Structure 1
């Protein structure tokens, strides 16, 4: 039974996709079966894993969500792509924009993605959802389907206002749709350890939120190599295995696994995808 983790922040450029890739591949390297879901219409996760033209793929997450909306029969393995570093991918593309609109008038609109995820969860140990940088219906669906949320926060961006809005959304989803949803942790990304400013942001984050939320001990350092991996379609482990970013993501992987061993989810909703 998979643990489902959404990576979410309504601010773009904070390292969500890079974290999804490297955490997912890190978990796979530890012997876990991992599925990544690209829940962003821009398809950045799909592109980062080497699938250069996501809009031309015959099946994507949008396809599967549309089938769930229409209550069509489908093979749970349909459309899932394999990456050479040992993870599976359900790609995302521009068609998710149409799904975003269609969900507005759909019955049980917040739980369509949960229906899809529940149909594949037995095949994996971890399912990571790379959310789009917005709080639209697709992201709400991701939070409704998740057991927990990882919030990447860029170290040179004072996170207070954006964090407050995101935490309010998560709390609302927990109250109204998904009572088991928790914040797994806040992850500082793109940290330039040479600057006092990055240290100040880390201090502010831990001061303001540390008593309410887990702030990961691991921080992801800024490095040009991390950005280059997206263009190469591979993880930081394959690109620069001895580098500081690879070591940081390996440390994050251990933290996530350790937290997961504290509380394994019991998924109560099983999809009937054989209708």
Structure 2
């Protein structure tokens, strides 16, 4: 069974494809609470979609650069990165790097320079829409653009919300899961009202689910009651393989494709792809 799952996920023949959206879907992965699986979710969904026929760009907007690490993309000081796009208006295609071993996947890395971007953006003209303009100006076509946000609600996250049409919120199945979520939803509503009227919280993904606890069940029920159809049926379990993969510069998809973690992210990606075909989105890249 594990070997069959691994073949399905790695898709070496390229025969298995996930539906491609009519237009580019720009998804911002956000939650100001740290440690809920934002970066892990961004990396694994991007890899799963890319392995199954979609062209995917990951924009690492977190100064820690964890998404760049997880995709094994160089992001040491001196590497052209997303900071150059935001502050110096360098075109996105000049800083995007192909991800080794995954033909349809590109990553715009983040270096430590990005840590100062919050302050530098304050005095920049049209500071909230710098990322949006950079993505719009990209000459190639992508099916998906995933933006990995920092765990805060500053100008970097605002740039991501203005650039995106959809917000994907990973929610940890823990006691404090819904705490602070109101603030994020309020900020999303503010951005929708003043800067980006097409923004929508389209997807909620439950992460770090431990089937052995009643608490996980209770949180899942709370989230499903609150957000309804926006919550994916696929749930990401606590899985040691998911945690180990980044230290090898890999996603769990390539590190251990037969694991429960890989299967769960594959199912989540498939669900997102199928939803995108049912509800076409209105933006071209």
TM-score above 0.5, yes or no: yes
Alignment deviations for residues 50-73 of structure 1 (CA, whole Å, 9 cap, x no partner): 236x232420000111222xxxxx
TM-score w.r.t. the length of structure 2 is 0.87
Query: For 1:51, which of 61, 64, 73 is the aligned residue?
Result: 73
Return the TM-score normalized by structure 1.
0.90
Q: 1:144 to 1:79 in 2, by over 3 A?
A: same
State the partner residue of 2:98.
82
Separation of aligned partners in 1, 2:247 and 2:36: 17
* TM superposition shift of 1:204: 1.6
Report the equivalent of 1:145: 163
Deviation at 1:267?
2.7
1:22 aligned onto 2:40: no
Following superposition, the deviation at residue 242 of structure 1 comes to: 1.2
- 2:15 maps to which residue? none
Match of 2:109 in 1: 91
Higher strand share: 1
Q: Secondary structure at the match of 1:23?
A: helix
User: Contact conserved, 1:80 with 1:89, CA < 8 A, in 2?
Assistant: yes
SS in 2 for 1:55: coil
Matches within 5 A, 1:28-39: 28-39=50-61
Q: 1:248 aligns with which of 264, 267, 280?
A: 264
Deviations 1:185-212 (A, max 9, x none): 11110101121111111112122333xx
1:215 and 2:231 are equivalent in the alignment: yes
Give the alignment of 1:91-240 within 5 angstroms.
91-120=109-138, 122-210=140-228, 214-240=230-256
> How many residue pairs end up in the alignment?
261
> Segments of 4+ in structure 1 off by > 4 A?
none
RMSD: 1.7
| Runs of at least 5 residues in structure 2 that lack an aligned partner in the other structure | 1-22
DSSP-derived class of the 1:35 partner? strand
Following the alignment from structure 2 to structure 1, what is the Cα–Cα distance between the partners of residues 210 and 179?
22
8 Å CA contact retained: 1:237, 1:246: yes
Query: Is the 1:240–1:246 contact (alpha carbons within 8 Å) kept by the matching residues of 2?
Result: yes
Query: Is the contact between residue 2 and residue 122 of structure 1 (CA under 8 Å) also seen in structure 2?
Result: no
CA deviation after TM superposition for structure 1 residue 25, in Å: 0.6
2-side partners of 1:157 and 1:44: how far apart?
25
Q: Secondary structure at the match of 2:171?
A: strand
- 2:22 matched to 1:5? no
* Range with greater deviation from structure 2 (14-23 or 101-110): 101-110
- Unaligned runs of at least 5 residues, structure 1: 69-73, 271-275
* Secondary structure in 2 matching 1:241: coil
More deviation, 89-98/8-17 = 89-98
Summarize the Cα distance change of 1:246–1:95 in structure 2 as closer, same or farther, 3 Å threshold. same
CA distance in 1, matches of 2:277, 2:142: 16
Give the Å deviation of 1:255. Answer: 1.0
2:280 matched to 1:264?
A: yes
CA distance 1:76–1:209, change in 2 (3 Å): closer
